[in-house]
Amino acid sequence: MKQTFLRRLVWAAGLSLVLAFTLALALALAGVLEAAQASPSPEFQNLDVSVGRWMFHGTSKTKTGKTQPFTWNENCAWSPNHLYLECTFSNVWAGHAVESLVVDTYNTTDHSYWHYEFYSGGEKGDHPFVSRMDVNGNTWIEYGQQAVPGKTTGERIVYHWDPPNRVSVAIETSKDGVHWSAVDQGEGIKQQ
pLDDT in tens, 168-192: 999 999 999 999 999 999 999 999 7
Residue 10 belongs to domain spanning: 1-38
Helix (H, G, I), strand (E, B) or coil at 110: coil
Q: Report the alpha-carbon angle 161-163-167, nearest 5.
A: 35
Q: Note whether 130 and 91 are same-domain residues.
A: yes
d(CA 84, CA 53): 16
SS3 16: helix
| pLDDT tens-digit map of 101-157 | 999 999 999 999 999 999 998 899 999 999 999 999 999 999 999 999 999 999 999
* Domain match, 58 and 8 both: no
Q: Are residues 25 and 51 in the same domain?
A: no
55 in the same domain as 29: no
